[in-house]
Amino acid sequence: MIRTAITASLLLAFGGAQAQDKPKPPPAWHQGKPAAMADSKLAPLAGKMTETPAGEIPVDKIKVPKGFKVELWASGMPGARAMAQGDKGKIYIGTRTIGRVYEVTDHGDKRTSRVVIDKLTQPAGVAYANGSLYVIAIDKVLRFDGIEDKPEVQPVDMTDKFALPKEQHHNWKYIAFGPDKKLYVPFGAPCNICEPPKEYAQIRRYNADGSGMEVLATGVRNTQGFDWHPKTGELWFTDHGRDWMGDNGPEDELNRIDKAGNFYGYPYCHAKGVVDIDIKKKDACKGVTLPVATMGPHAAVMGVKFYTGTMFPKEYQNTMFIARKGSWNRTVKLGFDVVNVRASADGKSAKVTPFMTGFLEDPKEAKFWGRPAYIHQMKDGSLLVTDEQLGAIYRVSYDGGKKK
């Protein structure tokens, strides 16, 4: 009996040791990493998830074209990403890793912020319509009715109506209501590179109550921003290129949906016709809608906004401002800026020009202090730009260089 008990104890101990020694699976961002890059030190860049005092934000380092001005508009919102504005002017801000949604109130001479909701799973998606704030996290769809007048209003849980896929990777979202009053929602690929299940790698639209779901585009790896052309009403969107295919590609994309049902290539064909090295298919780029423009390799293109205001010079009318947060999967870093993109309405002759720079101080050493993420146009024609790294919002205005 004693021998049996000892044997059983040894087996339990051995089994426990085996369980402890079992290696943990690699993080999701390792997926697709080739053997030739096994020793690569490239890894996601850590975000700053604590508040940065206003006095420590070096706004004076930001460079913009002559006649433009940048000022710190709000701060103290770690992880600030996409913005949506309420009818009465309040700004709602989604986040990813910190799990919060913020509300910013403009008092004229200053701005104050508060946390609307906390402890959600990557609630990056915020949109506002019909007096309500919509928030989409990985596993939740919430609607806050009348929130501008009722700050403590409890959300309506609409999750069941949207049938969200469960995978987390690339499924933090940018959302927005279109000119058709429908809510547009992307569902990224649940991997770096793979043949995704049918409910992923697409852009959908819904009625505001979650009914009437339609799939507008497929083959979309990970869009983190889109907007509608002011004249044609067509949707234009950014998309991230895959990782671990080298420093110089595949490039990120700027795409246009000229008709529902377009296929944008993922996982077989990237950028302007780059065939994938892992997921092989005959005639990989046949039938693929190619991008309007490529936006740089591993630049992490984020928010896109067509400019329709009157504050900026006329040459900026109907052009796009696109934030490039700056990705990690490149030896010499690229992005960390806002660019201006000018293209004809049919997507031809696109030209990408730097607009807001100075956040990246040393590309070779990955030395940066800010990461522009999203852009919002205010009623006066100025632009707000979120900095996810420092939890700040910058206001970009134009006075033609006049002294005030």
C-alpha 290/C-alpha 187 separation (Å) is 19
For residue 97, give its domain range. Answer: 80-377
Give the sheet arrangement for strand 262-263, strand by strand.
176-177, 183-187, 202-206, 214-218, 262-263
pLDDT band at 24 (very low <50, low <70, confident <90, very high): confident
* Number of structural domains found in the chain: 1
On whether residue 52 sits in a domain, the answer given is no
What's the CATH number where 260 sits?
2.120.10.30
Using one digit for the tens of pLDDT, what is the confidence trace for 75-128? Answer: 999 999 999 999 999 999 999 999 999 999 999 999 999 999 999 999 999 999
pTM of the complete model: 0.93
Which stretches of 277-354 are DSSP H helices?
none
For the chain, give the number of residues.
404
pLDDT band at 400 (very low <50, low <70, confident <90, very high): confident
Between these two residues, 320 and 22, which has the higher pLDDT value? 320
Q: What is the pLDDT of residue 7?
A: 44
C-alpha 67/C-alpha 268 separation (Å) is 44
Q: Where are the beta strands (DSSP E) in 180-299?
A: 183-187, 202-206, 214-218, 226-228, 235-239, 251-257, 262-263, 269-270, 274-275, 293-297
On whether residue 18 sits in a domain, the answer given is no
- pLDDT above 60: residue 179: yes
Q: What is the pLDDT of residue 66?
A: 97
Q: What is the pLDDT of residue 113?
A: 97
Tell me the longest C-alpha to C-alpha distance in the chain: 94
On whether residue 286 sits in a domain, the answer given is yes
On whether residue 96 sits in a domain, the answer given is yes
224 contact partners, CB below 8 Å, separation of at least 6: 174, 186, 238, 240, 300, 301, 302, 303
C-alpha 321/C-alpha 68 separation (Å) is 14
Q: What is the pLDDT of residue 21?
A: 58
- Mean pLDDT, range 214-224, rounded to an integer: 98
Query: Which among 54, 71, 14 has a CA at the least distance from the CA of 398?
Result: 71
Output the average pLDDT for the chain: 94
